């Protein structure tokens, strides 16, 4: 059987509350129909659908790629005498490429939930990734990610520094854009 030329690496399922609507079984049916050999579910700040997704995909011969879209706290700009408005977190997509990567995803999401306000998706400071990236592939998050945001703000040197910082987390070059 020939495969499609496209593998979606950033699907938000119905488990991404108010961001995604597709149910896991419907996603798998669509992938099968379009001859997609693999698909990634990267719900925002949670892994609630990971087991259902992995089982349903594998049962249909589709390679499941478990991931998460994780909120990354931005460093606050300090201006004396000014109140700093709360900023939306940057987005970083992490994909598990092994069992160790999946274990690291669980740790990061759990940490992000425990250290954040109740009822909010997992959010972590970027340095929380240190030592927990083995077995993970990182996507920069597009325009909502730290690199994309800095480029959109016209801060190319800062964006390049951010890419270097992300690459430093990678034990073997697994962090990617």
Q: What is the pLDDT along the chain (177 residues), one digit of tens a residue?
A: 577 788 999 999 998 877 888 999 999 999 999 999 999 999 999 999 999 999 999 999 999 999 999 999 987 655 566 666 668 899 999 999 999 999 999 999 999 999 888 777 789 999 999 999 999 999 988 999 999 999 999 999 999 999 999 888 766 544 444
Structural domain for 99, as ranges: 24-168
- Confirm whether 13 is domain-assigned: no
- Confirm whether 9 is domain-assigned: no
User: b/e for 147-172, b at 16 or more Cβ within 10 A?
Assistant: bbbbbeeeeeeebeebbeebeebbee
- Confirm whether 160 is domain-assigned: yes
Which residues have CB under 8 Å from 59's CB, separation 6+?
none
- Confirm whether 18 is domain-assigned: no
- The number of folded domains in the chain is 1
- Confirm whether 12 is domain-assigned: no
- Confirm whether 97 is domain-assigned: yes
- Confirm whether 16 is domain-assigned: no
- Confirm whether 122 is domain-assigned: yes
Q: 20-25: which pairs have CB atoms within 8 A and are 24 or more residues apart?
A: 24/49, 24/52, 24/53, 24/56, 25/56
- The CATH number covering residue 94 comes to 3.20.20.140
């Amino acid at each position: 059987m020939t495969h499609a030329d496209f593998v979606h690496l950033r699907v938000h399922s119905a488990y991404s509350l108010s961001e995604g609507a597709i149910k896991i079984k419907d996603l798998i049916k669509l992938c099968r129909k379009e001859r997609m050999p693999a698909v990634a579910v990267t719900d925002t700040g949670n892994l609630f659908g990971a087991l259902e997704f992995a089982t349903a995909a594998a049962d249909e011969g589709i390679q499941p790629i478990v991931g998460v879209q994780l909120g990354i706290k931005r460093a606050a700009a300090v201006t004396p005498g000014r109140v700093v408005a709360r900023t939306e977190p940057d987005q970083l997509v992490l994909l598990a490429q092994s069992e160790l990567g999946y274990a690291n995803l669980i740790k990061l999401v759990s940490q992000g939930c425990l250290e954040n306000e109740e009822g909010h998706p997992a959010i972590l400071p970027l340095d929380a990734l240190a030592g927990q990236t083995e077995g993970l592939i990182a996507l920069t998050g597009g325009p909502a990610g730290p690199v994309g945001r800095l480029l959109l703000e016209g801060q190319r040197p800062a964006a390049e520094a951010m890419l270097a910082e992300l690459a430093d987390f990678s034990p073997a070059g697994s962090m990617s854009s």
